[in-house]
A and B are shown apart, each in its own frame.
Chain A
Amino acid sequence: MFLDFFYLLRARGLPVTLNEWMTLMEALDMGLAQASLTRFYHLCRSVLIKSESDFDKFDQVFMEYFRGIETPEQLPQEFWDWLAHGELERALDDHGDQELFARELEELLRMFEERIKEQKEEHHGGNYWIGTGGTSPMGRGGYNPTGIRVGGKGRHRTALQVAGERNFKDFREDTILGIRQFQMAFRKLRQYSTRVEGVEKELDLDKTVDETCENAGMLSLAYERPRKNTVKVLLLIDSEGSMLPYSRLCNRLFQAVSKSNHFKDLQVYYFHNAIYDQLYTTPRCKLRDSVETTWLFHKLDAEYKVIFVGDAAMAPSELHRPGGNAIIGIYNRETGMEWFNKFKKRFKKQIWLNPIAERDWDYTYGSATIQDIRSIFPMYELTLTGLEAGLQKLMVK
């Protein structure tokens, strides 16, 4: 009977599957909602929704479908005035007559609508009209297990309006590219070798067999070092300025890389538009949090896989003129292009990931500088396919 609800959830972009829906039906058959709306709400949520970032969306769909009073603004202003005048609150243990409360939601909402039409004055402490401190199913500060609370602070939280409070708004994030998808892609950056330092702790079967044979059949165990990933990554991220629209996307990429614990080493630095004498340790690109780029060249060996992330869109002077640095107060003797070429010489493998879609590279603002940078580094768009192709490039010998 709720099948529409299922489709509504899916239509609103919640990844609910048929299996989960059937589980919910099973749960309802078992009476797990116990004829309580709040419990029904929690039951739906725990069975159907698997991430707190979707809770807010779910709350909205729930209200939309069950036609609660989702936007209190829809109520006539008079109701708010009446409620504002009386702040009488009912003692929390005073439940009134329990039997009166068995009401269906449909009926309740119908009543509520009728009562809005009927009610012409303030009511407080009664059991029929919309007001404060009473046992009527509508109003606030009172007690009714299935009622509608009209604004004010939740005291019993039994009403459908728990959903209306939208407690999970802060967790909401509209998924562009999941961190997990990024992480899966980064698994491609693997190169196993036993030639890394470490304790020999894994049984080497071939060697054990050989040594045991040589030992005239008496067991002789041979161990080897576990195989470890030898890939080292240098991640350089363009931040601020024209990159701001992509900050969420880049943040996900950053999260995915920094959570990937399979790299032998990971270094992250930031730059603004192009790279000159300094690289920054924070996305704010402030001089006091900077390191010398040449120091980095000395510190890191050529095996580091370099990933630039940036839109490569800037004023041509930033790439081609000494002193083109966009950060005011810093003069660069060597141009951005020269610095990028130094990177190309210093490291064996490097790619550039661009959040701008590939089809726009020839037309968008900054297409000239995009071309310039593409002449140095292979560039890929920052999508799953682009990322995969780029990482592939990094791994090719």
Chain B
Amino acid sequence: MSNKKFNGSSGYVVTQDLMDAVNVSIALQKPLLIKGEPGTGKTMLAEAIAESLDMPLIVWSIKSTTKAQDGLYMYDTVQRLYDSQFGEGDVSDISQYIRLGKLGEAFSSDRQAVLLIDEIDKADLEFPNDLLWELDKMEFYINETKETVKTKHRPIVIITSNAEKELPDAFLRRCIFHYIAFPDEEKMREIIRVHYGDIDQKLCDNALEAFYEIRKMNDLQKKPSTSELLDWIQALMVSGVSVDDLSSRMPFVGVLLKKNEDIEVMHDIKEKGYSLRHW
């Protein structure tokens, strides 16, 4: 069992319960499934863990076309065929045509690694089920070479999901689950401090006030998140606009709200207190 412990890192504000969840998943050697609104720092968590535990970080970004097999290994048949045609390389040695995927890389790493499976919900519905065995046993079999790739050091597996698709129960049962709640104002100040240490207090106050006012509008299609707030604050700092009555003028609102309809809805609500523009 590993006695490594995650205690947060300098560039990432972590709550006690999230820290506990990470440590539970490390101790129990089970994947940690992280859900939360976009922009609450799900992906950054893995970076922070890798940094604070001084481990290599292996990122497997999932796309809609990703197959489970892609993460294990790929057998480059075409290369082998070419080599046999032109008499290059040792064609009888299949293993040189086996390319390990991200999962394979993490399993065979000489040091314990942090494996981030990013946005698992992007993939096909069956995708998580196809990984059950590999994540359980932390090993897989290469048919072509009749070898089994086993872990030398069980990687710390972090899986993120934006809840675009629901994940299968069998997969969920094997995970430790944590939901990153949207940070409250106090936590948000801390996050801002971590990013822009010596920020002007008035700018910070006014920006937060305007930000949470917008967050409260339920008619918005996409509420702004932490990363958008950070971008907005940076835009305010760089441009040097006056920070008085930010919430009524809303400069650079496009940084916070990415949809035209949302900007209109926001102005409606600010003027009249309600909006009739329904989606």
Closest to A34 in B: B20
- Contact (A47, B176) CB under 8 Å given A23-B30, A184-B125, A282-B278: yes
In the complex, which residues of chain B have a beta carbon less than 8 angstroms from the beta carbon of A221? 78
Judge whether B52 is part of the interface by a CB distance below 8 angstroms.
no
- Min Cβ gap A52→B in Å is 4
Q: How far is the CA of A49 from the CA of B17 in the complex (A)?
A: 14
**Interface stretch among A13-21, A310-318, A361-369?**
A13-21
Contact in complex: A27, B28 (CB < 8 Å)? yes
In the complex, which residues of chain A have a beta carbon less than 8 angstroms from the beta carbon of B78? 203, 221
- Contact (A261, B64) CB under 8 Å given A27-B28, A32-B24, A180-B166: yes
Contact in complex: B173, A19 (CB < 8 Å)? yes
Judge whether B46 is part of the interface by a CB distance below 8 angstroms.
no
Judge whether B21 is part of the interface by a CB distance below 8 angstroms.
yes
- Min Cβ gap B87→A in Å is 13
Q: How far is the CA of A168 from the CA of B179 in the complex (A)?
A: 10
Contact in complex: A42, B20 (CB < 8 Å)? yes
User: Which residues of B229-279 are within 8 A (CB) of A?
Assistant: 278-279
- Min Cβ gap B6→A in Å is 13
Q: How far is the CA of A185 from the CA of B257 in the complex (A)?
A: 35
Judge whether A284 is part of the interface by a CB distance below 8 angstroms.
yes
Interface size for chain B: under 10, 10 to 19, 20 to 34, or 35 or more residues? 20 to 34
Judge whether B93 is part of the interface by a CB distance below 8 angstroms.
no
User: Which residues of A31-86 are within 8 A (CB) of B?
Assistant: 32, 38-39, 42-43, 45-47, 49-52, 55
Contact in complex: B177, A49 (CB < 8 Å)? yes
1/0 per position for A190-206, CB-CB distance to B under 8 A?
Answer: 00000000000001000
Judge whether A1 is part of the interface by a CB distance below 8 angstroms.
no
Partner of A259, one of B23, B25, B164: B164
User: Which residues of B169-186 are within 8 A (CB) of A?
Assistant: 169, 172-173, 175-179, 181
Contact in complex: B179, A55 (CB < 8 Å)? yes
Interface size for chain A: under 10, 10 to 19, 20 to 34, or 35 or more residues? 35 or more
Q: How far is the CA of A184 from the CA of B25 in the complex (A)?
A: 30
Judge whether B89 is part of the interface by a CB distance below 8 angstroms.
no
Contact in complex: A167, B166 (CB < 8 Å)? no
In the complex, which residues of chain B have a beta carbon less than 8 angstroms from the beta carbon of A38? 16-17
User: Which residues of B46-87 are within 8 A (CB) of A?
Assistant: 64, 78, 81-82, 85
In the complex, which residues of chain B have a beta carbon less than 8 angstroms from the beta carbon of A47? 24, 28, 176-177
Judge whether B35 is part of the interface by a CB distance below 8 angstroms.
yes
- Contact (A219, B164) CB under 8 Å given A19-B173, A23-B30, A32-B23: no
Judge whether A187 is part of the interface by a CB distance below 8 angstroms.
yes
Judge whether B165 is part of the interface by a CB distance below 8 angstroms.
yes
Contact in complex: A15, B169 (CB < 8 Å)? yes
In the complex, which residues of chain B have a beta carbon less than 8 angstroms from the beta carbon of A43? 20, 24
The 3 closest A-B pairs by CB, nearest first: A180-B166, A50-B172, A52-B179
Given contacts A17-B173, A19-B173, A46-B24, 13 further A-B contacts (CB under 8 A): A38-B17, A42-B20, A43-B20, A43-B24, A46-B17, A46-B21, A46-B178, A47-B24, A50-B173, A180-B168, A183-B166, A187-B125, A259-B165
19 A-B pairs within 8 Å (CB atoms) are namely A20-B173, A26-B28, A30-B27, A30-B28, A32-B23, A32-B27, A38-B17, A42-B21, A43-B20, A51-B177, A168-B179, A180-B165, A180-B167, A180-B168, A183-B125, A219-B82, A221-B78, A259-B164, A284-B278
B residues near A, CB below 8 A?
Answer: 16-17, 20-21, 23-25, 27-28, 30, 33, 35, 64, 78, 81-82, 85, 125, 164-169, 172-173, 175-179, 181, 278-279
